[in-house]
Amino acid sequence: MKLAAKTILGAVITASVAIVGARVGRECCVTPVARADGAQRVKGNAQQIVLIVEGMHCATCPITVRVTLERLDGVKSAKVSMKEGKAFVDYDPTKVTPDRMAKAVTDAGYPTKVATDVKGL
Ligand SMILES: [Cu+2]
Pick 32-114's CATH classification: 3.40.50.150, 3.40.50.10260, 1.10.3720.10, 3.30.70.100.
3.30.70.100
CA of 20 to the centre of ligand 1 (A): 13
Asked if 90 contacts 48 with a C-beta cutoff of 8 angstroms, the reply is yes
Distance of alpha carbon 88 from alpha carbon 82, whole angstroms: 11
CA of 30 to the centre of ligand 1 (A): 8
The mean pLDDT value for 13-29 works out to: 48
Distance of alpha carbon 13 from alpha carbon 7, whole angstroms: 10
CA of 14 to the centre of ligand 1 (A): 22
Domain edges within the chain:
32-114
- Is the pTM of the predicted complex or chain greater than 0.85? no
Q: What is the pLDDT of residue 46?
A: 84
- Per residue in 38-90, pLDDT tens? 334 445 678 999 999 999 999 999 999 999 999 999 999 999 999 999 999 99
CA of 108 to the centre of ligand 1 (A): 11
